[in-house]
Amino acid sequence: MRVIVVGAGVLGTLHAWHAVERGHEVVQIEREAEARGASLRNFGLVWVGGRASGPELETALRARELWAEIGARTPALGFRPNGSLTLVTGARERAVAEAAVARPDAAARGYKLLTPDEARALNPALGGTFDAALYCERDAAVEPRTAQLALRAELRRSPRYTFLPGREVREVIGDRAVRDDHGDVHHGDTVVLCTGAWLGGLVRELAGPELPVRRVRLQMMQTDPLDTPLTTSVADADSFRYYPAYASPALDELNAGQPQPPTAAEHRMQLLMVQRADGSLTIGDTHEYAHPFAFDTVEDPYDHLAAVAETVLGRPLPRIRRRWAGVYAQCTDPGAVVHRQRVRDGVWLVTGPGGRGMTCAPAMAETTADELGW
């Protein structure tokens, strides 16, 4: 079989990976020299703990297994099973963590409620004050800025894989063929469009104007290296408000009785913090849904994130090295893990993984491969 994959973000690259692994010839086409979208502008989190029960959690757990397998073959991916700690303070936040630990699927997620001393035994960098920490053993991390490069370097070891950068696909010709902006036509047995947050142009033409996918904008930042290991990923209790796993009467009480600070509420914020391989910290994030998005970044969210991160660490942050904004595509169907649509005979659009793209991409791509009979 010959598979044409359009898009070289993490979702497209994992589709190429599964096709090559199953013995097929793959041509992967990317409009940039390298992917520059949400697949790079994220935390690199393999975030199992916050996923909704059912298909979403099952997809995340399967993806976690696949990331471990791929990481063992591709050390440059930077896979590490570091787990995560969500720090809580006060009775309301603790009640949400206790409700999470009482879930029927808590063991599958690796949930444990830890005392501050137990949390610091796992992550000694936590020098701030907190009352308890929700530990998720199944969470992990990869290096987002280099993951696609590492995966592609491994793919290029196969003579069945071809990467064509700097080419924008402009047209689907008949069935199972695409024409790029160089005028070249690429024929395959299957075409998979993994175009990320690019939802206009050809995607709109093929999928129609009612595509159940929206774009979400975020802001994040990265520091200079921290001089001590941050051995787990870290979140604050505001993350309870944004992940479906934590829905409960306790969360309702938290939202009603302990609203977020104004800046956090305005920008729909949570603290997520991950240490990169070079020791730097990736810190975020915000959520913006209303179009048109701003073209600039706003300082208030960064000030809030820095203050919360310093409270968690009990010390000043290293110098902020870079700030950025990103846009990702999020499926609006609450029952779907990703939007997967046949737009022509033999041509499939796979988009809208949302904030779970880096977490779930290996399993999302595996499901496509299974469903298409690769």
SS3 67: helix
Condensed to tens digits (0 to 9), the pLDDT of residues 30-45 reads 999 999 899 999 999 9
Q: Is 96 helix (H, G, I), strand (E, B) or coil?
A: helix
Please give the Cα distance from 226 to 216 (Å, whole number). 30
**C-alpha to C-alpha distance for 9 and 105, rounded to whole angstroms:** 31
For residue 372, give the nearest of 354, 356, 350 by alpha carbon: 350
271 and 175 both lie in a single domain = no
**pLDDT for the residue numbered 183:** 97
d(CA 215, CA 196): 9
102 and 150 part of one domain: no
Pick from 180, 168, 240, 171: nearest CA to 202: 171
What would the pLDDT profile of 231-265 be if each residue is shown by its tens digit?
Answer: 999 999 999 999 999 999 999 999 999 999 999 99
**53: its two tokens:** 């029960």
**Residue 173's CATH number:** 3.50.50.60
Quick one: average pLDDT of 169-197?
Answer: 95
| Residue 187, φ and ψ in degrees, nearest 5 | -95, 140
147 and 230 part of one domain: no
Helix (H) or strand (E) holding 366: helix 357-371
* Tokens linked to 133: 């920490």
CB 132 within 8 A of CB 113: yes
- Mean pLDDT throughout 182-200? 96
CATH of the domain at 221: 3.30.9.10
Same domain, yes or no, for 161 and 267? no
Q: How many angstroms separate the CA atoms of 186 and 87, rounded?
A: 51
Same domain? 166 vs 298: no
Q: Is the pTM of this model over 0.85?
A: yes
Mean pLDDT to the nearest integer, 101-123:
98
245 plus 317 within the same structural domain: yes
Q: Are residues 242 and 319 in the same domain?
A: yes
The pLDDT mean for the chain works out to 96
**pLDDT at residue 66, as a whole number:** 98
Do 28 and 59 lie in a common domain?
yes
Lowest mean pLDDT, pick from 1-15, 159-173, 198-212, 235-249: 198-212
Arithmetic mean of pLDDT, 139-147? 96
Number of domains in the chain: 2
- Domain coverage including residue 76: 1-80+141-212+336-374
Those residues with Cβ within 8 angstroms of residue 238's Cβ, 6 or more apart along the chain or in another chain: 260, 264, 269, 270, 271
Q: Is the same domain home to 70 and 159?
A: yes
Task: Grade residue 174 by pLDDT with cuts at 50, 70 and 90.
Answer: confident
The rounded distance, in Å, linking the Cα atoms of 12 and 169 is 14
**Kind of pairing between the strands at 347-351 and 281-284:** unpaired
Shared domain for 222 and 312, answered yes or no, is: yes
pLDDT given at position 49: 96
Q: Is residue 271's pLDDT more than 90?
A: yes
Is residue 123's pLDDT more than 90? yes
Give me the half-sphere count of Cα atoms (radius 13 Å) on the Cβ side of residue 261.
13
Q: Cα separation of 191 and 167, whole Å?
A: 15
Answer yes or no: do 299 and 237 share one domain.
yes
Q: CA 333 to CA 351: how far, in whole Å?
A: 12
User: Is residue 137 predicted with pLDDT exceeding 90?
Assistant: yes
316: Cα separation from own chain's centroid? 27
Greater confidence (202 vs 175) lies with 202
Quick one: average pLDDT of 318-342?
96
Spatial separation of the C-alpha atoms in residues 11 and 335, rounded to whole Å: 19
- CA dist 206 and 218 (Å) reads 27
Tell whether 230 and 252 lie within a shared domain.
yes
Strand, helix or coil for residue 161 = strand
Is 73's pLDDT higher than 90? yes
Per-residue pLDDT, 209: 87
Residue-level pLDDT at 175: 79
